[in-house]
Amino acid sequence: MSGATGVQGITESDIANYLANTPGFFERHAELLSSIQLSNPHGTRAVSLQERQMDLLREKHKGLEQKIMEMIRHGQDNVAIADRLHRYTRALMLTADATDLPDVVVRELQQQFMIPQAGIRVWGAGPEGHDAAREYAREVSADAKSFASSLTLPYCGANVGFEAVGWLGDATTVASVALIPLRHGASTDAFGLLVLGSPDATRFAADMGTEFLTRIGEIASAGLSRLVRAE
């Protein structure tokens, strides 16, 4: 009776721990591997332990293959983004006339990153950059300048009537925007503002990361250093 009581007190965890800590058990009892029958998760018939192990290995292998394919896709996406960023940067560096730079920034962003609408204003340009015929040199309110300087990171979110959205070709269709301040350094006031707009409300969502947009702004600011007076 005492022996039966002892057996009844053994739990599945006890058995699992014993087998895990006794690697030679199935070597000494190899016949068990072929005699143990398990339910098949993909059907009604029972399968041997070896068959079940093979199924588990196949599932694990399939999961690893999916992870590898996902890593490859991410890698390809990153290469494509880096290539677009390279072309954007190269176009700015090859622009001979500094007064053409704002237009080049806007054009390249739209072409390379498939942005529906983009606009820019620069209010810190030197005398050679004050060309009223240039769209980037048009008047900007003091509030818009102050707002741009207050941005420590690009703003992403819904279009709630920002003045900068009015710089775009068709402001009425813009549902989400990204506002990127242009400045010489993190501690300086903005000398301009870059606005990106999309009719897709999720294109520039409030919870999206801004690291890439920050790099876009840094490259544009560096390129525009030929046009803008450093304070």
pLDDT digits (tens, 9 = 90+) for 20-55: 888 777 678 766 666 666 666 655 565 555 666 677
Q: Is residue 217 part of a domain?
A: yes
Question: Does pLDDT of 11 surpass 80?
Answer: yes
- Determine the pLDDT at residue 163: 95
Q: Is residue 151 part of a domain?
A: yes
The range of the structural domain enclosing residue 51 comes to 12-56
- d(C-alpha 167, C-alpha 131), whole Å: 17
- d(C-alpha 168, C-alpha 63), whole Å: 46
Confidence of residue 223 (pLDDT cuts 50, 70, 90): very high
Report how many domains make up the chain.
Answer: 2
- Average of pLDDT values for 116-138? 83
Confidence of residue 5 (pLDDT cuts 50, 70, 90): very low
Tokens 């006890």 sit at which residue? 14
Q: Is residue 75 part of a domain?
A: no
